Structure formats: C-alpha cells, structure tokens
C-alpha cells in the first residue's frame, strides 16, 4: 500500500506509478489512459511544434510537383547559366546562388535548383523511412508476439534469428546487400533492407512485453474462460501492445531517415538523378569550402526533420509511459 503521493514526492525521479496527481485530483472524471496521454502530449510544446513541422513536411512532400511548378524549375533541370564556370562551377552570386529565381540556390557543378531537389528529397526521405518502419514494425510485431505468446521452439527459433541479424554490422551489411541484390528496384530494395535490419529491435521489445502481458490476470482470465489464441492475441495482447509499439515506431522513424540518408551519402541509396538529401550532402563534400550553402541547405533539412521526429518520439514516450525518459 504505497501512497502514490509519497512515492512521487520522495523520489527524485518520476513516480513509478501512473500519474497520481491526475488521478487524485479528479477522481470523478475518470479519464482513460489514452485521454491522459493525449492531454499530456498536448501540453508538451516541443512535441506539438514538432508535430506541426512534420505535418508541414508531409504537405511539402505531397505538394512537391506543385511547389516546383510554382518555382518554375524541375528537380533535374540543369542551369549552366547560373554557374560561374571560371570558378570551377560554383553558383553565381552570393550564398550559393540564392535569388528570387533559385530560392535555395543552385547545385554547384550542375546548376540544378536546390529548392526543387530538397522538396523532392523530402518525398524520398519520408516515404523510405515510413515504409521501412512499417516493414520493421510489421515483422517485428508478428514475430515478437508469436515468440512471446507461444514460447518454446517458436521463441527459440525467432530469438536466434534476431541474434543472427543483430550480429551483422548494420550499415555495412546494408551496403553489401544493396550491392548484391541489384535486380530489385533500388528504392524498394532500400526500404526492404532497412526494414529487415531493424525488425529485430522491435521484435525483442514486443516479445518482452508479450511475455509479461501473458502472465497478467486479464489474459489468464480470458484463457480460463476458454478464449482461443486468436482472441487472446488480437483482443487482449495487441491492444495493450499498441502504446509501446507506437512509441518505438516513432522513435525508429528518425533513425531510418538517417539510415536512408547515410546510404545515399555513401552512394548506395536511391539512384540518381532521383534527388535525396543524403546524396546532396555527398556531393557537397567536394564543394564545402567554396559553396558552404550547398551543405547547409540539405544538412538543415535533414537535421530539422530528424529533430522533429525525435522530439515527437520523446513527447509520445513521456505521454504514454511516464516512467521512461525524463
């Protein structure tokens, strides 16, 4: 019989139990955990701002053709006239050639419009990261729940499989896979490779959660009432796994954005001329001393995107699981 208020107050860290203050303060209203989480999330300014940034990014990605039409330059149009050939092909004008015509300047060497490439690059970043996350979460959840729920050899097999995948050095294995599986369309391949390398992380977490949930009273109760495996898994376990899965999904999206960018940076990402931020940064390595703006623009785009997802992930975690993190 721990007095929750005591715990909250005595600890220098968050209360190990659900928000006592909220419960104590409004015993009559009786909020669902989801509502409480939503309230907490809404109070988290950083998370809400991040959500807005992400929303904006998604809009930009969707409206890419529209925005480039407005801008007047496609992502793959070359504008030699915007380059200073005497200086080795760096953009004319200051700040990487930023002007009313080229809103974020032009690419040194080729003269492609940076704004258009950034906007289209957002598509690749978001689509690849989201799809890869879906693959990882999908596979990870299925395997994790099955392993945790059925145990025995199913658990053994899947746990060992995860060990094997986790034994490979991720980025190295990814570039090697891309190199050997050249028949598959590159973008699809990247989605699959990132998803494949990441699912064991989700799988382990889901397995662990399932193991502990399996022993809980409500699952025992369902089982003793004669519920089948399907009922227990879909009606009892999965709803309770939703929160951690959501949190971890949000947290691996930024990691996957970075992963895709890293692959593009290394030259094994989406194939040129499809624009991607990592690739732009890769080009920028040869130009950073003469055209730093060309580093700054894709660099900032990548940084802000990843930061926004990280902040949203932190916010979600804090909102759904007060024990974690802060």
Partner 1 sequence: MLGYIVRRLIGVVLLLFVVSAIAFGLFFLIPANPAQQACGKACNPERIAIIEHKLGLDKPLLTQYGQFLKGIVAGRDYGEGTQVTHCPAPCFGFSFTTDQPVWELIKDRFPVTLSIAVGAAVLWLVVGVSIGIVSALRRGTWFDKAAMTFALTGVSTPVYLTGIVALFFLSATWHVLPYPTYVAFTDDPLAWAQNLIMPWFTLAFVFAAMYARLTRASMLETMGEDYIRTARAKGLPERQVVGKHGLRAALTPIVTIFGLDLGQVLGGAILTETVFGLPGLGQLALRAVFNTDLPIVMGVVLVAAFFVVIMNLAVDLVYAVLDPKVRYS
Partner 2 sequence: MPDRPAALGRPGPAALDTACLEVRDLRVHFPTDDGLVRAVDGLSFRVAKGRTLGIVGESGSGKSVTSLAILGLHDGTRARLSGEIWLGGDDVVTAGAERVRALRGSRMAMIFQDPLSALHPYFPVGAQIAEAYRVHTDVARRVARQRAVDMLGRVGIPQPQRRADDYPHQFSGGMRQRAMIAMALVNDPELLIADEPTTALDVTVQAQILELMSDLQREFGSAIVIVTHDLGVVAETADDVLVMYAGKAVEYGSVEDVFYRPEMPYTWGLLQSVARLDRVRQDRLRPIAGAPPSLITVPSGCAFHPRCPYCSLTDGKGEAAVPALEETAPGHLVACHLPPPARRRIFAEEIKPRLQPATGGQR
Q: How far is CA 40 from CA 47, 120, 149, 316, 321, in A?
A: 10, 34, 32, 9, 11
Report 38-57 residues binding partner 1 (CB under 8 A).
none
Tell me the two tokens of residue 286.
Answer: 């040869």
Which one of the spans 10-18, 157-165, 244-252, 285-293 is the region binding partner 2 (CB under 8 A)? 10-18
Which of 61, 284, 297, 319 binds partner 1 (CB under 8 A)? It is 284
**Closest approach of Cβ 261 to partner 1, in Å?**
6
In whole angstroms, what is the distance from residue 299 CA to residue 127 CA? 18
Burial 167-191 (b: 16+ CB within 10 A, else e): eeeeeeebbebbeeeeeeebbebbb
Q: Identify whether the C-beta of residue 233 lies closer than 8 Å to the C-beta of residue 154.
A: no
**Closest approach of Cβ 50 to partner 2, in Å?**
21
**Closest approach of Cβ 16 to partner 2, in Å?**
10
**Closest approach of Cβ 202 to partner 1, in Å?**
17
Sign of CA dihedral 219, 222, 223, 227: negative
265 interacts with partner 1 by CB under 8 A: yes
Closer residue to partner 2 (CB): 4 or 74:
4
69 interacts with partner 1 by CB under 8 A: no
How many CA atoms are closer than 13 Å to the CA of 115, on its beta-carbon side? Answer: 20
In whole angstroms, what is the distance from residue 2 CA to residue 173 CA? 50
**Closest approach of Cβ 158 to partner 1, in Å?**
14
27 interacts with partner 2 by CB under 8 A: yes
Q: Which residues pair with 267 in a beta bridge?
A: none
In whole angstroms, what is the distance from residue 89 CA to residue 14 CA? 56
Report 12-31 residues binding partner 1 (CB under 8 A).
12-16
Largest CA distance in the chain: 82
302 interacts with partner 1 by CB under 8 A: yes
Which of 5, 10, 21, 39 binds partner 1 (CB under 8 A)? It is 10
Which of 158, 162, 310, 316 binds partner 1 (CB under 8 A)? It is 310
45 interacts with partner 2 by CB under 8 A: no
Which one of the spans 6-14, 99-107, 109-117, 258-266 is the region binding partner 2 (CB under 8 A)? 6-14
**Closest approach of Cβ 11 to partner 2, in Å?**
8
In whole angstroms, what is the distance from residue 131 CA to residue 242 CA? 18
* Contact set with partner 2 (CB under 8 A): 1-6, 8-12, 21-22, 24-27
């Amino acid at each position: 019989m721990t007095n929750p208020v005591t715990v909250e107050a005595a600890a220098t860290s968050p209360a190990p139990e659900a928000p006592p203050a909220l419960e104590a303060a409004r015993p009559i209203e009786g909020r669902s955990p989801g509502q409480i989480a939503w309230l907490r999330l809404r109070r988290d300014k950083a998370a809400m701002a991040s959500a807005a940034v992400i929303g904006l990014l998604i809009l930009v990605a969707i409206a890419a053709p529209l925005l480039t039409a407005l801008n007047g330059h496609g992502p793959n149009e070359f504008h030699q006239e915007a380059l200073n050939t005497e200086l080795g092909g760096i953009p004319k004008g200051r700040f990487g050639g930023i002007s009313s015509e080229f809103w974020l300047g032009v690419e040194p060497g080729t003269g492609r419009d940076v704004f258009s490439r950034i906007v289209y690059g957002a598509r690749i970043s978001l689509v690849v990261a989201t799809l890869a996350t879906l693959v990882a979460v999908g596979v990870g959840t299925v395997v994790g729940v099955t392993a945790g729920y059925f145990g025995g050899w199913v658990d053994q097999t899947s746990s060992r499989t995860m060990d094997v995948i986790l034994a490979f050095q991720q980025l190295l294995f990814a570039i090697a896979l891309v190199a050997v599986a050249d028949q598959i369309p590159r973008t699809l391949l990247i989605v699959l490779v990132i998803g494949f390398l990441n699912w064991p992380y989700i799988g382990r977490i889901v397995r662990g959660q399932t193991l502990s949930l399996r022993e809980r009273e409500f699952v025992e109760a369902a089982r003793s009432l004669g519920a089948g495996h399907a009922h227990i898994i879909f009606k009892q376990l999965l709803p309770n796994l939703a929160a951690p899965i959501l949190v971890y999904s949000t947290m691996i999206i930024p990691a996957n954005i970075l992963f895709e960018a890293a692959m593009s940076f290394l030259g094994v990402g989406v194939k040129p001329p499809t624009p991607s931020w990592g690739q732009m940064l890769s080009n920028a390595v040869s130009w950073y001393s003469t055209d730093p703006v060309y580093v700054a623009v894709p660099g900032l785009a990548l940084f802000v995107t990843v930061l926004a997802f990280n902040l949203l992930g932190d916010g979600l975690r804090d909102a759904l699981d007060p024990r974690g993190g802060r």
